[in-house]
Amino acid sequence: MNRLKEKLVKFMSGRYGVDQLYYVMLVLWAVLMVVNIKVDSLILVAISDVFLVLAIFRSFSKNISRRSGENQKLLKVWNLVRRKVKLFFRRFKEIRVHRFRTCPHCKKTLQLPIKRGKNTVKCPRCQEKFEVHIFL
């Protein structure tokens, strides 16, 4: 058993292994397989198998910098989506106290107190002033 473990460790040394993109691909493969139970499509099986083959290929790949770059792209998108979802729920949670507006110059989301009507706001990040309309 130890001999098999040593061979496996030797085989995997210098290879990329698993990361977040690997798990995303496995989840996509599983979801497509579950959907395929209802749909029963050969094309869906082919697409899901592509995800599985890519996940396995990536984990055994020796081009670590490229695989890491691919994972970083996924994490960038993931963090953006997570931030947007968090802000969405925060808007509802603080609906009685704050309004959220995006600075047109630096695109930072600002948390503003509720002052109904037309207001001039100074962005704390870029120091630019811009008009804000708060109706409700």
Per-residue mark of binding to Zn ion, 71-110 (x: CB under 5 A):
--------------------------------x-xx----
Tell which one of 26, 52, 126, 134 touches Zn ion (CB under 5 A): 126
CA 121 to chain centre: 31
And the tokens for 23? 């798990």
| 112 lines the binding site for Zn ion (CB under 5 A) | no
What span, in angstroms and rounded, lies between the C-alpha atoms of 47 and 90? 37
In angstroms, what is the minimal distance from the CB of 38 to Zn ion?
48
**The only residue of 62, 82, 125, 129 in contact with Zn ion, by rule CB under 5 A:** 125
- Under DSSP, the state recorded for 105 is T
Tokens of 16: 């990329």
Count Cβ atoms below 10 Å from residue 29 Cβ, excluding itself: 19
Q: Which residues form the interface with Zn ion (CB under 5 A)?
A: 103, 105-106, 123, 125-126
